[in-house]
Amino acid sequence: MKLHDLKKMLDLPEWAHVSYSSFSDLSFSCFEIAKKQGKNAKEFAEQAADNLHSKYIKKASALNGYVNIDLDFSELEKDHGLLSRVEIAGMDNRFSNKVIRLEHTSVNPNKGLHIGHMRNSYIGEFIRKSLIYSRARVTTSNFIEDTGAQVADIIVGFKYLGKEIETEEKFDLYCSKIYKEINEDYAKDNSLLEKRKQVLLDIENNDEQTMELLRKIVDKVLISQLSTLTGERIKYDLLDLERYILGEGIVKAAMDKLTREGVAAISESEKNNGCLVSVIDGSEVTLSRSDGTSLYIAKDIAYAMIKHNILSERIKYKKFSQNFDGSDILISNPEGRDYNLPEIDISFTLTDSAQNAEQYAVKSIIERFSGKDSYNHYGYEPVAISKETASYLGIKTEDKFMRMSGRKGITVEFDSLLQVIKNRIIEESAKNGKKMGDNDALKLASSVVRYYILKFSPSKMVVFDINDATSLKGDSAVYINYSYSRAKSVLDKAANSDYTNIEFDDAENSIIRELLFWEEILDDAVVNLKSSVICDYLHKIADTFNSFYEKNRIIGDQKENSRLLITKAFKDITEKLSDFVGMELLEKI
SS3 label, residue 423: helix
Mean pLDDT to the nearest integer, 19-37: 93
What is the residue type of 72? D
Intervals of CATH 3.30.1360.70 along the chain: 3-71
The β-bridge relationship of strands 238-241 and 328-332 is: parallel
H-type helices in 354-413, by residue range?
356-370, 387-392
pLDDT attached to residue 395: 87
pLDDT of residue 407: 61
SS3 467: helix
pLDDT bracket for residue 366 (50, 70, 90): very high
CB 466 within 8 A of CB 389: yes
CATH 3.40.50.620 region(s) of the chain?
Answer: 99-385
Cβ 329 vs Cβ 319: under 8 Å: yes
Q: What is the CATH number of domain 414-580?
A: 1.10.730.10
pLDDT above 70 for 586 = yes
Report whether pLDDT(410) > 80.
Answer: no
Q: What does pTM read for this prediction?
A: 0.94
Can you give the pLDDT at residue 1?
A: 80
Rounded to an integer, the average pLDDT of 41-57 is 96
Any bridge partners for residue 385, and if so which?
402, 464
Least confident of 16-25, 225-234, 374-383, 469-478: 16-25
For 335-348, the pLDDT digits (tens) are 999 998 999 999 99
Best CA proximity match to 283, nearest among 300, 269, 294, 296 = 269
pLDDT for 408 equals 64
Strand partners, 26: 69
> How crowded is residue 408: how many other Cβ atoms within 10 Å of its Cβ?
11
Residue 404 has pLDDT above 80, yes or no: no
CATH 3.30.460.20 fits 99-385, yes or no: no
Closest CA to 494 of 574, 559, 569, 554: 554
Mean pLDDT of the chain: 94
Q: How many other C-beta atoms are found inside a 10 Å radius of the C-beta of residue 51?
A: 11
Strand segments (E) across 195-311: 238-241, 265-266, 276-280, 283-288
Helix (H) or strand (E) holding 322: strand 317-322
Distance from chain centroid for Cα 78: 37
In the predicted model, is pLDDT for residue 403 greater than 90? Answer: no
CATH 3.30.1360.70 describes domain 3-71: yes
571-576 long-range CB contacts below 8 Å, 24 or more apart?
Answer: 571/484, 571/487, 571/488, 571/491, 572/86, 573/86, 573/515, 573/518, 573/541, 574/480, 574/483, 574/484, 574/487, 574/538, 574/541, 574/542, 575/484, 576/86, 576/87, 576/88, 576/518
Report how far apart, in Å, the C-alpha atoms of 178 and of each of 222, 298, 424 are. 16, 28, 29
What are the pLDDT digits (tens) for 462-514? Answer: 999 999 999 999 899 999 999 999 999 999 999 777 777 788 988 899 999 99
Summarize the confidence of residues 165-191 as an average pLDDT: 93
Q: Is the pLDDT of residue 553 over 70?
A: yes
Under DSSP, is residue 401 helix (H, G, I), strand (E, B) or coil?
A: strand
Q: What is the DSSP string of 163-217?
A: --S--SS-HHHHHHHHHHHHHHHHHH-THHHHHHHHHHHHHHTT-HHHHHHHHHH
The distance from CA 508 to its chain's CA centroid, rounded to whole angstroms, is 34
Question: Is the confidence at residue 291, as pLDDT, over 80?
Answer: yes
Q: In the chain, list all ranges with CATH 1.10.730.10.
A: 414-580
Q: State the CB neighbour count (10 A cutoff) for residue 575.
A: 16
> Do the Cβ atoms of 436 and 429 come closer than 8 Å?
yes
Does the structure show a pLDDT above 80 at 411?
Answer: no
